Amino acid sequence: MKTSKESSSKSKNLSKKIVLSEKAPVLSEEGGGGGANEEVPAKARSVGGGGLGLLLKRVPRKVLAVLANLPLALGEMFTIAGLMALGTIIDQGEAPDFYFQKYPEDNPVLGFFTWRWVLTLGFDHMYSSPVFLGMLVLLAASLMACTYTTQIPLVKVAKRWNFLQSAEAIRKQEFSDSLPRASVQDLGVVLMGAGYEVFLKGPSLYAFKGLAGRFAPIGVHLAMLLIMAGGTLSATGSFRGSVTVPQGLNFVVGDVLGPSGFLSTPTDAFNTEVHVNRFSMDYYESGEVSQFHTDLSLYDINGKEVMRKTISVNDPLRYGGFTIYQTDWSFSALQILKDDEGPFNLAMAPLKLNWRQEAFWDLSTCWRS
């Protein structure tokens, strides 16, 4: 904006109160027209981004346009959400016999869903299945294409300042007014008080606000990419397992954990032996269990204790890249001391109820124990 009159004495007084930048980060002077919101054709934009930007530049623009399509991205997200819901319904990590019995071919679920769907598409390990990982890769490609073709160019346009040099160009703007007695310095103070960033060049003034909002979609896309990358790495490169260990017994970490994906690689820490020193419980005044604790010792391959910690619910043990959580407790054995000898562990099995509600021992379960 330009004013027809400038008061030099007033400007000097105001300059002592407030400091206005004399240059903008990006300056584009056009004498004839265009405003600060002037759009730049997409083909004329130069988008950076380092190695990723160079990689995306090699992708045909038609392919980028298809990947950056909003309906496609929404469809990808709904598909991923549906697969996640399906992974919650279908039991994960069970043996094939389990799915043969639960989804038999002679009585398919919904008339078509059988064990073949589960095992062929990898739905028994949904979050590391090719279908689920493929959808994540497709969504990641859509986010990067949208960021490259839409969001970054919008930021570049928003950062471009155009100081208009003619009154005719100013009057062509959507909103314009003439202030014969106004001062550019006074107007700058008012705009800065309203939260605008103000730049001066001679008798011309340019002000803007809300530029940070242009970066918000880029931040959201980056956060989604990081979350998907972390989830994919966890699903394809981790180990999982569970074991019930009576007090006083040991287990080796590598014997319990199984790979969850094709990127899972064991480490030397898998040779660590874990000894259960003691198990204890805390109770409320009502007699209900409030917390249970397990005192664990970790031994290396040479039998040296390398760590000891008492874990509880939400307070796991972390060592050598693996984490030991305490998830549940139950009676697995009865320990007996006789003449200061022992303890001797006697296996236990749960009592079952028949149709008469009579308790009996399941001998097959006892034998397996």
Looking at the structure, do residues 300 and 364 belong to the same domain, yes or no? Answer: no
Name the residue range of residue 348's domain: 331-369
Q: What is the pLDDT of residues 73-116, one digit of tens each?
A: 999 999 999 999 999 999 988 889 999 999 999 989 888 999 99
Nearest-5° Cα angle at 233, 232 to 239: 115
State how far the Cα of 292 lies from the Cα of 275, in Å rounded to an integer.
17
Q: Is residue 17 part of a domain?
A: no
- Residue 117 is predicted with a pLDDT of 93
Looking at the structure, do residues 255 and 339 belong to the same domain, yes or no? Answer: no
Q: For 233, phi and psi rounded to 5 degrees?
A: -65, -40
Q: Reply yes or no: is the peptide bond before residue 343 cis, omega within 30 of 0.
A: yes
Q: For helices 130-146 and 212-237, what crossing angle results, to 10°?
A: 160
Looking at the structure, do residues 242 and 337 belong to the same domain, yes or no? Answer: no
Residue 318 in this model has a pLDDT that exceeds 90: yes
Interstrand relation of 359-361 and 239-240 (parallel, antiparallel or unpaired): unpaired
Place of tokens 């562990």: 345
More confident residue, 234 or 9: 234
Looking at the structure, do residues 133 and 52 belong to the same domain, yes or no? Answer: yes
Beta partners for residue 293, in sequence order? 280, 312
- Residue 93 is predicted with a pLDDT of 81
Looking at the structure, do residues 340 and 323 belong to the same domain, yes or no? Answer: no
Looking at the structure, do residues 261 and 304 belong to the same domain, yes or no? Answer: yes
Q: What is the pLDDT of residues 167-213, one digit of tens each?
A: 777 777 777 777 777 787 788 888 888 878 787 777 777 777 766 66
- Residue 116 is predicted with a pLDDT of 92
- Residue 92 is predicted with a pLDDT of 86
More confident residue, 174 or 3: 174
Q: What is the pLDDT of residues 334-348, one digit of tens each?
A: 777 788 787 777 766
Please compute Rg for the chain using Cα positions.
34
Place of tokens 């080796």: 252
Q: What is the DSSP letter of 75?
A: H
User: How many Cα atoms occupy the beta-carbon half-sphere of 281 within 13 Å?
Assistant: 9
pTM score of the predicted model: 0.54
Mean pLDDT estimate for the chain: 77
N- to C-terminal Cα separation, the chain: 86
Q: List CB contacts of 247: < 8 A, sequence separation 6 or more.
A: 276, 277, 278, 279, 335
Q: Is residue 167 part of a domain?
A: no
Looking at the structure, do residues 335 and 299 belong to the same domain, yes or no? Answer: no
Q: What is the pLDDT of residues 261-312, one digit of tens each?
A: 777 888 888 999 999 999 898 999 888 888 889 999 999 989 999 999 999 9
Helix (H) or strand (E) segment spanning residue 335: strand 333-338
Q: List CB contacts of 198: < 8 A, sequence separation 6 or more.
A: 20, 21, 188, 191, 192, 205, 206, 207
Domain end position, chosen among 134, 156, 178: 156
What are the distances in angstroms from CA 108 to CA 165, 224, 317?
A: 75, 37, 43
- H helix intervals, 91-129: 96-102, 115-120
Report CA dihedral (72, 74, 80, 81) to the nearest 10 degrees: -160
Domain end position, chosen among 130, 156, 182: 156
Average pLDDT over residues 120-149: 90
Q: Is residue 313 part of a domain?
A: yes
- Residue 82 is predicted with a pLDDT of 94
Looking at the structure, do residues 305 and 251 belong to the same domain, yes or no? Answer: yes
Q: List CB contacts of 353: < 8 A, sequence separation 6 or more.
A: 359, 360
Q: What is the pLDDT of residues 11-59, one digit of tens each?
A: 444 433 344 444 444 444 444 444 444 443 444 344 444 555 566 667 7
State how far the Cα of 186 lies from the Cα of 12, in Å rounded to an integer.
11
